[in-house]
Amino acid sequence: MGKIRINNLKFYTKNGVLKEERVLGQQVEIDVELTMDINKAGKTDNVQDTVSYAEVNDRIHERLENSSFDLMEAVASAILDDIENDHGEKLDKALIRIRKYSVPMPGIFDNIEIEMEREMTK
């Protein structure tokens, strides 16, 4: 068993509940953690025996560029749908963390973060 992690992918999006979030937009950071057996890939040195993190990155970029959501939970769910559709047969589970920094609410804080994990069906 092993994990592939992609940390701090940065995207500029126009997602959110409030009008100003959809007009002005904001930066989000995304972490992806993929749990799977990576031993075969370690022995064969063949990308076909693992999940290409470049493909995962491209798919997330495509999803955020072509979709709009009110909730970060919906963004995470859609990304997990894409990962499961593209690579579910190789994965045991996938975890997504999304951090949003420019949140229009009172108080002093760095960001909000949601985390969603899904067991893959093989």
Catalytic residues, which ones? 100
How many residues are recorded in the chain? 122
Give the span between the Cα atoms of 80 and 71, in whole angstroms: 15
Asked if 19 contacts 70 with a C-beta cutoff of 8 angstroms, the reply is: no
> How many CB atoms within 10 Å of residue 32?
21
C-alpha dist (Å) from residue 81 to 40, 76, 90, 116: 25, 9, 14, 12
Structure tokens at 49: 């025996």
Amino acid at 56: V
